[in-house]
Structure 1
């Protein structure tokens, strides 16, 4: 494959991240190549497990319509999540009130809070709570811990539901760190689960700054429940740079994109 061919394939993947699907006819017009060439590109990308071909084009691979358990989520893209967590933690200042939600990516933030002073940390995540308690008992964490109560999801090791939403209304936080299951320009951020999505939406309302942490596998994905539009997000932390097609709107909506390193 020539360099121009690789650039065309990158264009196709970037368009998938933007829209979640591509049409062969549009690609023929936009790339000024034959339909046979486009079909070959799509076949090669499918063989690389980067998209799924459908009639008339291709769609981004959606591994599952069901949320994996917390234990399974912990091992998916683990190194990317660790890097994202470390970078997100640099946003936390001494004396701040922060919320860490139940995502497997946000969990990694906690390991990098140990040099911060006098934090107040709220969470609805059972694994996050245990980790915070462990660091607190070892005198490695400075500050207070608040656990949001309510309906417990044993599979996801988190608290959600109307009681949790009501409880979070009593708090205002400086920064909320939020994991997501899908992100797409024009569609916003989404979640597999309605209750989790409702809680995350309420959390955004109660925070001065909302920080979305996500690895690139969530780009171009739209899941069941819409959490919020892009204009509700202040910062996005990811393991890669923003898709170039997103950058103009990110600037217009004053969203800061941080590429974790």
Structure 2
């Protein structure tokens, strides 16, 4: 494809608007330019506030800074999230108590827990609750289910608020699986919504091990509410390797990064 610079940028914007993201390697192939040239295009477009660069490409600018609805989040990067869910579930052992935070990525963990024995799952996610009940009724899941109650957010299909936080305080878990909206090595993990972030933080405080599940679009992003520092995380499961310039600090903070297959 032979296009001048501005036409190439226009192509990138069209892809961003239609797909919500672009991937650097794919742009290199389609536009037949070097990765360095693509990087310059993305930098120029970011300076114009037309996109947000992330690890491996760029995503559409969220101008409202509002969290997408659960239904919209569910379909974004669905294949990557399924692989992350499978890799995260492999870290769960029989007889464990686990928190499953609300999120479209943490939701993908559940179907891969059916072969585990004597689990206890606590969640504030309404879709996760529905899945667990369905598996329980079909005798595919034999463990215990605890729903963390409180104020319902209908748009996000989750429970948040002080009542939910107080309920979490009554339990201690082996592992907490946390979904995020952004992470940067110097800013920690972040969420669009402070109430959701506060509840996730409470889960982390009451778990022996904290595991973050995140696809590549969250890497390099910072959102409204800081949930925790990287030193509070034990494991990160993602569909891409850790950024090279993060590796030394991750090792120093004893954070294990697992890449799903």
Say whether residues 1:252 and 2:252 are aligned partners.
Answer: yes
8 Å contact 2:52–2:61 — kept in the other structure? no
TM-score (norm 1): 0.80
Deviations 1:185-241 (A, max 9, x none): 110000000100111111110000000000010011000000000110000000010
CA drift of 1:143 comes to: 1.0
Query: Structure 2: which 5+ residue stretches go unaligned?
Result: 1-35, 54-58
Cα distance change, pair 188–140 in 1 and its aligned pair in 2 (3 A): same
Alignment of 1:101-140 (within 5 A): 101-140=101-140
Return closer, same or farther for 1:108/1:42 CA change in 2, 3 Å cut-off: closer
* Structure 1 alignment gaps of length 5 or more: 1-38
- Return the offset for 1:142: 1.9
CA distance in 2, matches of 1:43, 1:178: 34
CA contact (8 A) 1:62 1:221 kept: no
Of the three residues 41, 45, 64, the one matched with 1:44 is 41
Aligned counterparts of 2:201 and 2:222: Cα–Cα separation in 1: 16
Task: Find the aligned partners of 1:43 and 1:88 in 2 and give their Cα distance.
Answer: 35
2:77 alignment partner in structure 1: 77
Q: Distance in 2 between matches of 1:62 and 1:220?
A: 14
Go from structure 1 to structure 2 and tell me whether the alpha carbon gap of 1:41 and 1:78 turns closer, same or farther (over 3 Å shift): closer
Q: In 2, distance between residues paired with 1:59 and 1:146? A: 38
Q: Quickly say closer, same or farther: Cα 1:251–1:40, change in 2 above 3 A.
A: closer
Question: What is the CA–CA distance in structure 2 between the aligned matches of 1:243 and 1:42, rounded to whole Å?
Answer: 16
Q: How far apart, CA to CA, are the structure 2 residues paired with 1:40 and 1:68? A: 31
Q: Deviations over 1:141-160 (max 9, x none)?
A: 12100000000000000000
Q: CA deviation at 1:62?
A: 5.6
**Equivalent residue of 2:155, what SS?**
coil
Aligned pair count reads 220
Q: Are 1:63 and 2:88 counterparts?
A: no
Give the 3 Å change call, closer, same or farther, for CA 97–191 of structure 1 in structure 2.
same
Any idea what the Cα deviations from partners look like across 1:6-35, whole Å, max 9, x if unmatched? xxxxxxxxxxxxxxxxxxxxxxxxxxxxxx
Q: Is the partner of 2:244 in helix, strand or coil?
A: coil
1:141 partner SS: coil
SS at 2:208's partner residue?
A: strand
Which aligned runs of 4 or more in structure 1 are off by greater than 2 angstroms?
39-47, 58-63
- Give the whole-Å Cα distance in 1 for the aligned partners of 2:112 and 2:227: 27
CA distance in 1, matches of 2:218, 2:60: 9
Q: Give a deviation string over 1:164-192, Cα, whole Å, max 9, x none.
A: 00000000000000000000011000000
CA contact (8 A) 1:43 1:53 kept: no
